[in-house]
Structures are given as C-alpha cells and as structure tokens.
Copies of this chain bind each other. A is one copy, B any other.
Amino acid sequence: MSYAFDCIQLKRRTFLRGTVALLGYLVGQTNNANAQADLLPSWNDGPIKQSIVNFVSDVTTPGLPTFVPAAERLATFDNDGTLWAEQPIYFQFAFTMDRLKALVSQHPDWKVTQPFKGAIDGDLNALMQSGEKGVLEILAATHAGVTTDAFADVVLDWLATARHPRFDWLYTDLVYQPMRELLAYLRGKDFKTYIVSGGGVEFMRPWVSKVYGVPPEQVVGSSGTVKFELGPDGVPVLMKEAKVEFINDGPGKPVGINRFIGRRPILAFGNSDGDQQMLEWTAAGQGARFMGLIRHTDAEREWAYDRVSRVGKLDKALDKANAEGWTVVDMKRDWRTIFVRERPSSRQTIK
C-alpha cells in the first residue's frame, strides 16, 4: 500500500469518494480511476498501479479531505535507477571516463597521478574503486575548466554519440518508459515534477527537458562551484571550478529539496538507500503522501540487484519501506514495458 490511513479515515475517505463520484455522475462529470489508468499503459494492472491512481485521485478531487491545492503538488524523483538505468556504472561515471580520456592530452600529469592514473589505465570499475574521495576528485577535475554553456554542449555531444556497453544503445534509450508515463500523468494532474538526484546538476539540466519533460529549473543535484568571470571579449561567463560544492545524496536530499524548492514534496520516488531520507522527509509532512521505491528485479530486460549491489544498493531503505508500508514497485512484475527506443537520437533533438 502506498500510504497509511487508520480505519476511520479509510472509511471516511471511501464514503466521501463515493459521494463525490455520485455527485460527479449527477452533474455529468466522470471521476473514474480506471479511465485515468490508461495514461499508464506500461504499468501492469495490480495493486501498485492502483495505489498510484488512487493517490492522485485522492489529492486532486475537490471536496475530499485529502485534497491538495495544485500549487502544493510537488513530486520528486531520483534519477539514476529511478528514471533511467544505472548499471553497470552510473551513466555520469561513463561520461566521466570518456571525458578523462578526451582531456588527458591536456593533463599529462593525470597519467602518473592517482586517482587519475588508475582510472585511465583500468576498466570502467576503476573509477568506482578509487573510493568516494577519488571519485569526487576525478568528477571535479573532468567537469571543470570550462564555462557552464560549454559544458552543456559537451554533455549533449556525449549523449548523442556514446553507447551503453550492454545494449549498444544511446544512454537516453535506457530511460524507463513507465516512469516517463508517470511524470506526464502527474503533470497532467497539475503536479510540478522535480528530479532530485545524486548526479551532477549541470550534467542533467541540458537534456532533461526533452527526455523527461522536466525543465532545467526543476532539477536538484550535486554541484561543483562556479565563478562569475569576464571572458576574453569582456562578456561575462560562469566558469566551472574543480571544487565540490554540494552532494545531493542520502541526508543531502532533503537538504537539497529545502535549498532548491523550499517546500516538501507530497510524492517521492527512489530506488536505493540514497533515497531513504528523501522518502522519510516526504512521509513526515502532513496530509496524504506517496512514497515509492523501485526494485530492480528483471535481469533479463534490465538488471536484478538490491541489498549487496555496488551501484544502487537497496537495503535499509527496503526494510524501511516494508515497515512503513511505502509502495515498492517490482520491475519484473509491475512494468509491462521497460524501454522504448524512440528517444531522440541526435544532439539537436535532445537539446
């Protein structure tokens, strides 16, 4: 079940929903949850899909005690493993490895200095094996020394050409179709959809509008510092520096939500332990709430991993979800379709 009500509230809600449905019928309006469910065709019918539709109905039906005004309908989504895949390594790390190789001729010291040397010599795992400090150092170095505008172009060029090692698809082809439908469904109900990711905000903003329908100003993420400077032509630029500013992960997610959004979501979706505090923060608000966790259970169509995974570990948050009655999506059981390869395939169309 998606969110908890005691019996009295449940009865009252059911009664009111019946009354509102009857009134709607009498004045010629429909309030049919099954009709709305057609907006989620990639979700299999069942209690999970129904819990989403019920929640949306509860918070958008005027007159119900669970009604939430449109301005307060904020929904936050983790990105890696929640909106697109994250195996065998976070896609931003694949980008980082490619960027490291592209930049090494300008940074000959990287060939002899750790953690860069190991990452350059090694396979895709090397970046992750250098530990958090090493990863952050490589991320900062490979994402710095360019203007914010130039970096956006680098990201778009990479997304238009780089291929996922298992599927040989563009990385944006590994976006989950059910989640794209869910984002659109919520926006159709006047929700404001946000991405709240441990990934870099400047890595996501250039393409999320086209791929997810989420405007760049609704992306909360990790960031490096930027500096306002006058360029050689006297035109001001923002230069990316090799310094980590904020890590939007774990307890950082509610902090990031507070910093960027300033109010609490009523719906949040994640897939790993790094999302637990975002879901707890969402759950702790007053009124109807929806907390969703995605379990990667489909080794054939996607991947199957949880408690011991190096990437996207889902352990404590799963226990919490089970204890609190949060909605746990089983990818294999609940998603009819996972990927639809009709993503934009060129840099122009992504932008």
User: Residue A88 at the B interface, CB < 8 A?
Assistant: no
Minimum CB distance partner of A208 in chain B: B262
User: Residue A258 at the B interface, CB < 8 A?
Assistant: yes
Determine how many copies of this chain the complex contains: 2
Q: Is the CB of B148 within 8 A of A280?
A: no
Q: Is the CB of B223 within 8 A of A277?
A: no
Q: Is the CB of A259 within 8 A of B223?
A: yes
A202 and B262 CA atoms in complex are apart in Å by 8
Residues of B with C-beta under 8 A to A205: 262-263
Q: Most chain-B Cβ atoms within 10 A of its Cβ — which of A227, A258, A280?
A: A258
Q: Is the CB of B284 within 8 A of A255?
A: no
A131 and B65 CA atoms in complex are apart in Å by 51
**Which of B148, B217, B236, B258 contacts A260 (CB under 8 A)?**
B217
Minimum CB distance partner of A264 in chain B: B149
Q: Most chain-B Cβ atoms within 10 A of its Cβ — which of A217, A262, A280, A281?
A: A262
**Which of B223, B236, B284 contacts A281 (CB under 8 A)?**
B236
Q: Is the CB of B215 within 8 A of A227?
A: no
Q: Is the CB of A277 within 8 A of B228?
A: yes
Q: Is the CB of B71 within 8 A of A263?
A: no
Residues of B with C-beta under 8 A to A215: 71
**A258-B217 contact in complex given A235-B284, A236-B277, A277-B228, C-beta closer than 8 Å:** no
A263 and B237 CA atoms in complex are apart in Å by 13
What's the minimum C-beta distance from A225 to chain B, rounded to whole angstroms? 8
Q: Is the CB of B226 within 8 A of A258?
A: yes
What's the minimum C-beta distance from A243 to chain B, rounded to whole angstroms? 13
Q: Is the CB of B216 within 8 A of A228?
A: no
A9 and B281 CA atoms in complex are apart in Å by 52
Chain A 158-201: CB-based contact to B (< 8 A → 1; otherwise 0): 00000000000000000000000000000000001000000001
A254 and B277 CA atoms in complex are apart in Å by 30
Name 24 A/B residue pairs within 8 A (Cβ), A-sorted.
Answer: A71-B215, A74-B217, A201-B259, A201-B262, A202-B262, A205-B263, A216-B261, A216-B262, A216-B263, A217-B263, A219-B262, A226-B258, A226-B259, A227-B255, A228-B251, A228-B252, A228-B254, A228-B281, A236-B281, A237-B284, A238-B255, A238-B258, A238-B281, A260-B260
Q: Knowing that A223-B259, A228-B251 are A-B contacts, what are 16 other residue pairs whose CB atoms are under 8 Å apart, sorted by A's residue number?
A: A71-B209, A74-B217, A201-B259, A201-B262, A202-B262, A205-B262, A226-B258, A227-B251, A227-B255, A228-B281, A236-B280, A236-B281, A237-B284, A238-B254, A238-B258, A260-B260
